Amino acid sequence: MRAGAHALPSALGAGRVAPLPRRRSRPRPGGVVPAPSPAARITRAVKGSAGAANANAPPKPERVDRLLSRLGYCTRAEAKRWVSAGRVVANGERVSRHDAKVAPVTTGEVLIDGEVPEAPDRLVAIMRKPLDVVCSHDPREGPSVYDLLPERWRRRNPSVEAIGRLDKDTSGLLLFTDDGDLSHRLTSPRKKVWKTYEVALDADVPEDAAEIFAAGALLLRGEKRPCAPARLTVDAGRRRATLEITEGRFHQVRRMMASVGCVVTRLERSRFGNLDLGALEPGDVRRLDEKELERVFEGAEEG
């Protein structure tokens, strides 16, 4: 989570807070502040402000019943039975109390059913979304992408949510996480994370479509501000194209193509940043490691 600014209470009166003194930065020779390297920007984006500050800090101990509930193993009420059955081990010894505190890490100090806790810090996953499923928890809307997640992931708290949405008629790369800050960084237009779509169309793409999209002046119907610059590559047959965008407006790809006289007949998201689908089949889902997550932010430039 984001590291918030703190203020110290003062004797100035009830309800008043004295702000912390601002620290002045030391000027560098020549007055030039070097820009962070691309690798540094990616690391900062992946970890976020709070993650970067606590990257090397040891995990904080938490109650066993809260840990089991947070990671989706069981409810807090059921945790007593898990502990009594010897299913939780810390430092080689069975935990005897459900309110005992342990520090979950991935190196084996804590074991649940003989295994290290799954993604104790945060869970990030990739799915190849099939057609005809929705990104919704509402069963009235039909089969959902959440039905394709492992049961334990569906019980995690905070809940595992899709990062952005793909509509029922769109397939392809969909990310999930229980980290709200990460989800925001990946979906905010200010972060300029590129999403790539493979598009099939019912008509030839006009010759000037790529120029129109790249100009950053396209105003879609009902919108008050134009779309951010986008990259369009059209194949030789003019009815298939690759579109890269940094935003996620409602049905944006379909509306952009409609603005140049083309109806989308097939749409798949193939990349998120530099992360692609790999060998995933429709409906497949798996966890991402931190190195794979870094690929999502490659090429992004905050603006």
pLDDT, tens only, 257-287: 999 999 999 999 999 999 999 999 999 999 9
Q: Is 167 a catalytic residue?
A: yes
What angle separates helix 38-53 from helix 290-297, to the nearest 10 degrees? 120
Share of residues in the chain with pLDDT > 70 (%):
80
Q: Who wins on pLDDT, 30 or 227? A: 227
Q: What is the DSSP letter of 146?
A: G
pLDDT at 36: 53
pLDDT in tens, 210-262: 999 999 999 999 999 999 999 999 999 999 999 999 999 999 999 999 999 99
pLDDT band at 147 (very low <50, low <70, confident <90, very high): very high
Question: Where do the domains of the chain lie, and which CATH numbers do they carry?
Answer: 62-112 (3.10.290.10), 194-272 (3.30.70.1560)
Whether the Cβ atoms of residue 172 and residue 129 lie closer than 8 Å to each other: yes
Whether the Cβ atoms of residue 270 and residue 197 lie closer than 8 Å to each other: yes
Q: Who wins on pLDDT, 116 or 108? A: 116
pLDDT at 53 over 70: no
Whether the Cβ atoms of residue 104 and residue 62 lie closer than 8 Å to each other: yes
Place of tokens 């950053």: 216
Nearest alpha-carbon partner for 199 in 227, 231, 221, 159: 231
pLDDT band at 301 (very low <50, low <70, confident <90, very high): confident
pLDDT at 40: 52
The whole-number average pLDDT for the span 80-90 is 96
Which among 167, 169, 202, 204 is annotated as catalytic?
167
pLDDT band at 108 (very low <50, low <70, confident <90, very high): confident
pLDDT at 3: 40
pLDDT in tens, 149-200: 999 999 999 999 999 999 999 999 999 999 999 999 999 988 999 999 999 9
Residues 162, 56, 285: CA angle, nearest 5 degrees: 25
pLDDT band at 20 (very low <50, low <70, confident <90, very high): very low
Put simply, whether the predicted model's pTM sits higher than 0.75 gets the answer: yes
Q: Which residues contact residue 213 at a Cβ distance below 8 angstroms, ignoring those fewer than 6 apart?
A: 227, 229, 230, 231, 232, 243, 256
